Copies of this chain bind each other. A is one copy, B any other.
Amino acid sequence: MKTPERITGVLSPVVTPFGKDLAPDAQRFVRHCKWLLANGCSGLAVFGTNSEANSMSVAEKLQLLDALVAGGVPAAALMPGTGHCALSDSVTMTRRAVEIGCGGVLMLPPFYYKGVSDEGLFRNFAEVIERVGDPRMRLYLYHIPPVSQVPITLALIERLLKKYPGVVAGVKDSSGDWSNTKAMLDAFAKSGFDVFAGSEVFLLDTMRHGGKGCITATGNVNPGPIDQVYRKWQSVDADRLQAGITATRKIVQKVPMIPALKAIIAHFGNDPAWRTVRPPLTELERNQEEGLIAELRSSGFRMPGLAA
């Protein structure tokens, strides 16, 4: 199997639907993934933070991955999250993702221990790369210190890039700190290291400094307009388009993001089952959801073709 083209553009960390018994719902998952690819996403960062990926076992995630491919989602468009606290879990997930031809893997650092050294994190990523041992592997590092509490430093990226050029392919920066994204772009974008903003709020700035797109929660519900900023970033309309997607983001993030995304899909897709989240998350309060939906509606927000 040859190495697919690198994924660029807008990726969604796909939210995971659960049944009443809290089991992952593969059918709804495949359907939402196809909707995203048909409506602006060029790639799917399944098993990300917004996917409640860490709330699922490795076996549950492998079953969903198989269901996606069996359901006709192209593996080359997939960038599954494969980083776990346990080295052995990271190897299992990454190996399978590479074997089935995924366009990349998005890897969290092990996140239980805090204050660990760059040397320890380097060893973690190096062990995964060496054990998977497949040159088709494309590793995107996942920097999300507000949640993981374990940062991916510039020094660590530099060391990994030097040791594993080609395999270490990029980063998702979910620090929420543009100065950090810019530092990553300035340092590595010219070395074939693809920097993705972790929020569409920074998409235009990221593109203007040599980045390759964004991997963003709200890509789950607003992929088309975000994709327009990606495609037209050099046009005269770019700032206006960016202002539009930023405004939508700001409405959504007034309430907890993951249940908000699920409530939006449930509402605009007319499919209440989507509201279910796994503990430790909880669904939105009724008044939170009503306020969110009302504000989105009055802003002109739409999800074309979502309702069955």
Report which A residues bind B (CB closer than 8 A): 22, 49, 54-60, 85-89, 92, 109-114, 116-117, 119-121, 123-124, 127, 146-150, 278-282
Contact = CB atoms under 8 A, between A and B. Distances in A.
A294 B114 CA distance: 28
B280 A147 contact: no
A279 B127 contact: yes
Given A112-B111, A127-B22, A147-B113, A56 B86 contact: yes
Contacts of A89: 57
Contact of A123 (B109, B119, B148, B279): B279
A104 to B, nearest CB: 21
Given A57-B88, A59-B88, 4 more contacts: A112-B147, A113-B280, A120-B281, A127-B279
A280 B123 contact: yes
B117 A282 contact: yes
A26 B280 CA distance: 33
A88 B55 CA distance: 8
The number of times this chain is found in the oligomer is: 2
* Among A89, A109, A111, A121: residue with most chain B CB under 10 A: A89
A282 B120 contact: yes
A253 to B, nearest CB: 14
Contacts of A281: 113, 116, 120
Given A55-B110, A114-B147, A87 B121 contact: no
Contact of A88 (B56, B109, B282): B56
A261 to B, nearest CB: 14
Nearest to A113: B280
Contacts of A278: 87
B55 A87 contact: yes
A89 to B, nearest CB: 5
A149 B117 CA distance: 19
Nearest to A124: B279
A133 to B, nearest CB: 14
B121 A279 contact: yes
27 contacts: A22-B87, A22-B127, A49-B112, A54-B85, A55-B86, A56-B86, A56-B88, A57-B58, A57-B89, A60-B86, A87-B279, A110-B279, A110-B280, A111-B112, A112-B147, A113-B281, A114-B146, A114-B147, A116-B281, A120-B280, A120-B282, A121-B279, A123-B279, A124-B279, A124-B280, A127-B279, A150-B280
A280 B112 CA distance: 9
A22 B90 CA distance: 14
A57 B110 contact: no
Contact of A149 (B116, B123, B127, B149): B149
* Among A88, A146, A147: residue with most chain B CB under 10 A: A88
Contacts of A120: 279-282
A238 to B, nearest CB: 34
